Amino acid sequence: MHPDFYSGEVLLINKPYTWSSFQAVNKIKHAIKKHPSLVLDGVKVKPKVGHAGTLDPLATGLLIVCTGKKTKTINDLMGLEKEYTGTFFIGATTPCYDLEKPVDHTYPTNHITEDAIYKAGEAFVGIQQQVPPLFSAIMVDGKRAYELARAGVETELKAREIEIKEFEITQIKLPLVDFRIVCSKGTYIRSIARDIGLALGSGAHLTDLCRTRIGTFLNKDAITPNEFSEKLEEKL
């Protein structure tokens, strides 16, 4: 079956490291713009493309990209639960809670045991209020929070209700702690890094993150934007 990008397709894209979600969507949009399904009655139709949930540039993994009439399903897709795997660094913080900014503070870790780490992870399971990172795309007075943060403007973001459905510590090799998390929409894993550092009486930040699942859609079934473009070019 040939793709119909006007009637709509749901594409599973594996976002590469350092790519923004916007870059990934633009790559798909550029790849499909010459596709025959976007020519109606001899007139070329401008491709409509959007994604169902942003990934940070330093995160990898599943980005659901919708085209054409399927973009109407984006809100429903965004509401699906997500699964992530990744790594926390225990004993240091950064302003953005990941590696996009350098370490700003270091903290002692001698008091932290493996048992304390497992218990801290268990305590995060459930419905809770989470304060998003200052370096995030949340709108504040008409501007993105990250724009204000980069300009040095002090901003207080309101806590939002999220749910952590599963929090599994998969490996501990201090200062690194590997994890798997299943959570609701709107959850910031970078904020969990911040909060688990506080829970351990130390500091922490995110060094690695991959979104492995959105609802029943799996990253193992996804392809990179470049692979998508190459495969489509071959068919054309």
Residue 20 confidence (pLDDT) above 80: yes
39 and 97 inside one domain: no
Contact 93, 105 (CB under 8 A): yes
CATH number of the domain enclosing 129:
3.30.2350.10
More confident residue, 113 or 142: 113
Find residue 105's DSSP bridge partners.
93
Residue 5 confidence (pLDDT) above 60: yes
Q: How far apart are CA 110 and CA 134, in angstroms?
A: 29
Contact 181, 84 (CB under 8 A): yes
Q: What is the pLDDT of residue 151?
A: 65
Structure tokens at 118: 């497992």
Q: What is the pLDDT of residues 47-78, one digit of tens each?
A: 899 999 999 999 999 999 999 999 999 999 99
Q: What is the pLDDT of residue 206?
A: 98
Residue 201 confidence (pLDDT) above 70: yes
109 and 46 inside one domain: no
Q: How far apart are CA 53 and CA 186, in angstroms?
A: 9
Q: Considering the entire predicted model, what is its pTM?
A: 0.92
What pLDDT band is residue 80 in, cutting at 50, 70 and 90?
very high
Which residues lie closer than 8 Å to 182 by C-beta, 6 or more apart? 81, 82, 83, 164, 165, 166
The answer to the question of residue 3 being in a domain is no
Q: What is the pLDDT of residue 193?
A: 97
Contact 108, 202 (CB under 8 A): yes
Which residues lie closer than 8 Å to 154 by C-beta, 6 or more apart? none
Q: Out of 56, 98, 195, 208, which one is annotated catalytic?
A: 56
Q: What is the pLDDT of residue 209?
A: 98
Burial of 200 (0-12, 13-18, 19+ CB in 10 A): buried
Span 131-139, average pLDDT: 75
184 and 160 inside one domain: yes
Task: Tell me, yes or no, if 41 is annotated catalytic.
Answer: no
Q: What is the pLDDT of residues 215-228, one digit of tens each?
A: 999 999 999 999 99
223 and 207 inside one domain: no
Span 119-142, average pLDDT: 84
Q: Is the peptide bond before 175 cis (omega within 30 degrees of 0)?
A: yes
Structural domain including 231 reads 10-79+218-235
Find residue 208's DSSP bridge partners.
87
Total domains, the chain:
2
Q: For the chain, give the mean pLDDT.
A: 92
Nearest residue to 28 (alpha-carbon basis) of 227, 176, 234: 227
